[in-house]
Amino acid sequence: MADWIIDRNGTPVLILDEHCFRSPRGDVTSWLVGNGVYALNGDHIGWFEISTLYDVHNHIVGMLQHACTPQLAERAPAQMPVFTRRPHIPLLKGRHQRAPVSPLPPPPPPPASVYTGATALQAN
């Protein structure tokens, strides 16, 4: 089943159709092989992981419509365009090394007033 890829502005930029990405007009633009995204000439151009499409610089290109906020998802057209025929998958070229994702920062400490109040209660 096909689903829209929505960018951060709510614009439908691509369609994920099984193992290929299509333009909003329905033309095949790239292939999804595993989690790698490849151009029609076989060049590795990004990744698709957990409903999110990344370029080779690890920047988010867009997310599947069902993974977006309702305000963004509702901007996608209700109907899909007519799909063109899929070309053959080209010989795929080497993948780029993906930049590491930085770990989440530690949670901030509780406000000082919480500790002050507990100390004041114990002192009485």
Q: What is the pLDDT of residues 9-61, one digit of tens each?
A: 888 889 998 889 999 888 899 999 989 999 988 899 999 998 999 999 889 99
- CB-neighbour burial class of residue 102 (10 A; exposed 0-12, middle 13-18, buried 19+): exposed
pLDDT recorded at residue 47: 93
Q: pTM for the whole thing?
A: 0.65
Q: What whole-number distance in Å separates Cα of residue 59 and Cα of residue 65?
A: 18
Domain boundaries, the chain: 2-98
Q: Are strands 2-6 and 60-64 parallel, antiparallel or unpaired?
A: antiparallel
pLDDT of 88 above 70? no
| Higher-confidence position of 107 and 50 | 50
Total count of residues recorded for the chain: 124
Q: How many CB atoms lie within 10 A of CB 62?
A: 24
Handedness of CA 33, 39, 56, 60 (dihedral sign): negative
